[in-house]
Structure 1
Amino acid sequence: MSIFKKKQELYLSDRQPLTVVGKLLLFVSYAILIGWAFVIVWPLSQMIISAFNGNQGRYLILNKITDDSYMFSLKHFEFLFTETKYLLWVKNTLVIAIATAVLTILIVSFTGYAYSRFRFKGRKASLMAIMLIQTIPSFAGITAYYTMHSIISSVAPVFTRQMMLILIYAGGGIAANTFILKGYMDSISTELDDAAKIDGCSNMKVYRLIIMPIVRPMLSIIALWSFIGPFMDYLLPRVLLTNANDYTLAQGLYTLMNNRETLNQPAFAAGGLLTAVPIVILFAVLQKQLISGLAQGSVKG
């Protein structure tokens, strides 16, 4: 009995010892991971140091900081709030981001359900069209956006360029997210639908009472993607938004770097750090849903 226990202790794991090649590959893998972490952490650390460096000069000359000494200070954040329209840029971006996320979720939840549960003429062709649409960058249609805005604003003067931007972001996200949500819904057994219909539920009730609670984690992920988009995008707001009071965060912060009169790199770094706050808060709020959605998506099917 004791010999059997000793043998069990000797073979607790079936993994074979690493060979020389295996150790070399492991070393290379760790080296790549450490290098990738450095590439991410180094710019972030420089941004944090710049944002809180009270001795750093306001202007940059030949891309060199005028004062390299360090003293912790919040003066760059104070400049951001008192001498720029940062709070207005935050409000504009939040309005656009929230509206984009809500509109995307509202439409995608219906289109994903329709493509997953119904068979209709032109279904495969439209799905193929959705996939092809993703190959066209949204910036390529800037002329069409101008034309559409001119037509709509002539009929409805209250239609602003910010509203146009929301429609562009939502429209660009609907196609890809419909395809993703449709695949997620396909993994849900249709027997649940049939059982609910036997009990007298309509298609709308099946969607609301059966499908929606199950796909809520995936909808949370789609909402997060849709919300982050307006925070990260610069090109479309730069072209469409011409009034400084309508700027988003990306476009507004760029004004601190695009000419010599307003050049303030530390304030730009401080604004970049604050921009991450709403996204981090949203990640924390949706953490359970995000983990659930990713975990369920990996085991369904």
Structure 2
Amino acid sequence: MHSIKRNKNIRLFGTYLLLAIVSITIFYPLAWTIGASFNKGNSLVSTTLIPKNPTFDHYIALTKTSGTFYYFQWFLNSLKISVVTMVLSVILVSITAYAFSRFRFRGRKNGLIMFLLLQMIPQFSALIALFVMAQMLHLVNSHFLLILIYVGGQIPMNTYLMKGYIDSIPISLDESARLDGASRTRIFLQILAPLAKPMISVVAMNGFTGPLGDFALSSVILRDPKSYTLPIGLYNLINDKMGASYTTFAAGAILISLPVAIVFILLQKNFVSGLTEGGTKG
């Protein structure tokens, strides 16, 4: 009896220790970034986790524009691209996953395999081709082209994930609705979509955060400083050998994390499983 209790305590201690290590790993860099954004000066060498003389100078500096610095323009560019990508990704991925899950057609299996194979190709391997395509279409500095590329990149893996989730929803719900005269569209919108909210939320979160943190692809398509997204603009801020400002970079990084936190809070109630339970009751 004592050995069972001791083993249980050891497992419990190990669990809490692991959680503590993971929490420190996650929150320490965030706390350091927040501290750096309130420290005086531009160098990380002189910054401390808890600023001795906190200042808002770096946040104020973000409001100033110059020939190459347009923080809030970059902020709006990033939000626009991320929101439109999120909306289009949810719509297209949901429709595609529904088709693969509920319909049987020629090439269905090969299509799913192709989606998996596409994920094995590194994104940077297509950068040259995408830049050449942007030049041929005269869409360099185009947010529209960037959105299309992001949405196309979101479809394969997210479709595969959502298709698996829709497969777990009893097909008897579809059949019952069909007997009542419901169309395929109505079944999808009023039955399957509400039950698939957890996976739809995952797709939405991926569609929003993916473009917001992308640097490689956006830096190839966007060349005009006013059309930059935040990753490009903030990178140039610390890449300037003569005027690099890591503390201003930290302030800018903290501000762009706010929309991500807001979207996560709005979607977190859907990040649960088992919503199909009780779907066949009554």
Please state which band the TM-score falls in when normalised by the shorter chain. 0.7 to 0.9
Which runs of 5 or more residues in structure 1 are unaligned? 1-10
Show CA shifts across 1:244-283 (max 9, x none): 0111111111121001233111110111111110011111
- C-alpha distance in 1, partners of 2:203/2:263? 12
Counterpart secondary structure, 2:4: coil
The answer to whether the Cα contact below 8 Å between 1:181 and 1:218 also exists between their aligned partners in 2 is yes
**Residue number among 110, 114, 118 corresponding to 1:129 in the alignment:** 114
The answer to whether the Cα contact below 8 Å between 2:158 and 2:203 also exists between their aligned partners in 1 is yes
Deviation at 1:40, TM superposition (A): 2.2
Select the structure of larger CA radius of gyration: 1
Runs of 4+ in structure 1 displaced over 6 angstroms? 66-69, 297-300
Deviation at 1:25, TM superposition (A): 5.8
Show CA shifts across 1:218-240 (max 9, x none): 21221111101111111111222
What's the TM-score once normalised by structure 1's chain length? 0.82
Q: What does residue range 33-112 of structure 1 map to in structure 2 within 5 Å?
A: 33-53=19-39, 56-58=40-42, 60=43, 64-65=45-46, 70-83=52-65, 84-112=69-97
What's the TM-score once normalised by structure 2's chain length? 0.87
Counterpart secondary structure, 2:116: helix
Asked if 1:257 corresponds to 2:238, the answer is: yes
Question: Number of aligned pairs?
Answer: 275
**Residue number among 245, 264, 268 corresponding to 1:283 in the alignment:** 264
Q: In structure 2, give the amino acid aligned to 1:285.
A: L
Counterpart secondary structure, 1:119: coil
Name the residue aligned to 1:3.
none
Q: In structure 2, give the amino acid aligned to 1:271.
A: G
The answer to whether the Cα contact below 8 Å between 1:86 and 1:252 also exists between their aligned partners in 2 is yes
RMSD: 2.7
* TM-aligned CA distance change 1:295 to 1:262, over 3 Å: farther
Percent identical across equivalent pairs?
35
- C-alpha distance in 2, partners of 1:218/1:40? 24
* TM-aligned CA distance change 1:212 to 1:34, over 3 Å: closer
Q: In structure 2, give the amino acid aligned to 1:125.
A: N
- C-alpha distance in 2, partners of 1:26/1:290? 26
- C-alpha distance in 1, partners of 2:80/2:72? 12
Name the residue aligned to 2:194.
213
